[in-house]
């Protein structure tokens, strides 16, 4: 009887050790599979480039970068939050601008919360205290909430991830730009009209969407080095919040931005 119990205990131990061994083997195989799957997924969404990238653009989920000399040479990267700059003027009061000066004719403030852009020009003392122009816009999840930056590169048409494009783009910082509402093609008659109707609400991944008229105004009038300040307030600004036409219901014209100065724009007829 004792031998029988001893043998049974030995079998129990062997069974337990076997089960533990099987569990460990399955766990190790699963860990190896998870690592391989992650690496494979990363390789599927990334295209390695060999040359220096110069301009960047976005859609709602990812950014794409284009080489200056080869539009087919691209890299897909994920959205990153833009770090806040140390120079901050967060109060919407014009009083805060009495100490702000610079070499550019204009100073731009982006109200992230209200989705309004206000352009200021200099007073007689050379400070940016004169409200000049207000623009309705759409900010987004990666739009800076505060900080002051300077504009740099400009692009007449800019390719965006998702086979869409933007007119009159002006870079603010890293991947954040002013530009028009996206187009399906690099043609003025392929506007994403459903996105145009979102102007005045948060709708982008991070760039500042504008009407063509406003994007073109910044493109034409604000030289590289123009300061752009981000802040957040319920108060839209000293000139208020402009309105944008809702266009989705007009099937004849809705593929065009109503503010586009192009001579073939059906809205002008």
For residue 84, the model assigns a pLDDT of 47
| CA-to-CA separations, 60 to 56, 142, 153, 157, 185, in angstroms, rounded | 14, 10, 22, 18, 17
Set 137, 139, 207, 222: catalytic member: 207
For residue 3, the model assigns a pLDDT of 52
Alpha-carbon span 231 to 168, nearest angstrom? 23
For residue 22, the model assigns a pLDDT of 75
Q: Identify which of 232, 241, 244 has the alpha carbon closest to the alpha carbon of residue 143.
A: 232
For residue 27, the model assigns a pLDDT of 72
Tell me which long-range contacts 264-269 makes (C-beta under 8 A, separation of at least 24): 264/188, 264/189, 265/188
For residue 8, the model assigns a pLDDT of 56
- To the query of whether residue 179 is one of the catalytic residues in this protein, the response is yes
**Other CB atoms within 10 A of residue 91 CB:** 12
Set 66, 137, 139, 179: catalytic member: 179
For residue 193, the model assigns a pLDDT of 98
Pick out the chain residues at pLDDT < 50: 4-5, 38-92
* Domain boundaries of the chain, sorted by first residue: 1-45, 82-262
For residue 58, the model assigns a pLDDT of 40
For residue 10, the model assigns a pLDDT of 66
- To the query of whether residue 262 is one of the catalytic residues in this protein, the response is no
From the options 1.20.1250.20, 1.20.120.160, 2.40.440.10, 3.30.1360.120, give the CATH code of 82-262.
2.40.440.10
């Amino acid at each position: 009887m004792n031998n029988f119990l001893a043998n049974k205990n030995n079998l129990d131990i062997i069974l337990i050790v076997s089960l533990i061994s099987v569990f460990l083997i399955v766990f190790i195989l699963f860990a190896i599979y998870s690592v391989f799957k992650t690496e494979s997924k990363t390789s599927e969404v990334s295209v390695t480039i060999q040359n220096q990238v110069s301009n960047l653009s976005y859609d709602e989920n990812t950014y794409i970068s284009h080489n200056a000399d080869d539009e087919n040479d691209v890299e897909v990267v994920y959205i990153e939050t833009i770090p806040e700059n140390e120079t901050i003027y967060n109060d919407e009061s014009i009083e805060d601008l009495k100490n702000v000066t610079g070499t550019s004719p204009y100073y731009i403030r982006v109200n992230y919360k209200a989705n309004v852009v206000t352009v200021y020009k200099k007073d007689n003392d050379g400070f940016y205290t004169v409200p000049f122009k207000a623009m309705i816009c759409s900010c987004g999840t990666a739009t800076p909430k505060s900080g002051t930056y300077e504009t740099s590169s400009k692009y007449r048409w800019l390719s965006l991830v998702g086979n869409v494009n933007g007119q009159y783009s002006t870079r603010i910082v890293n991947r954040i730009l002013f530009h028009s509402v996206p187009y399906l093609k690099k043609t003025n008659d392929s506007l994403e009209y459903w996105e145009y109707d979102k102007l005045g609400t948060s709708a982008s991944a991070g760039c500042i969407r504008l009407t063509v008229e406003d994007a073109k105004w910044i493109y034409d009038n604000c030289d590289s080095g123009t300061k752009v300040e981000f802040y957040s307030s319920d108060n839209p600004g000293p000139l208020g919040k402009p309105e944008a036409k809702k266009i989705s219901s007009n099937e004849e014209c809705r593929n065009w931005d109503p503010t586009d100065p192009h001579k073939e724009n059906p809205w002008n007829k």
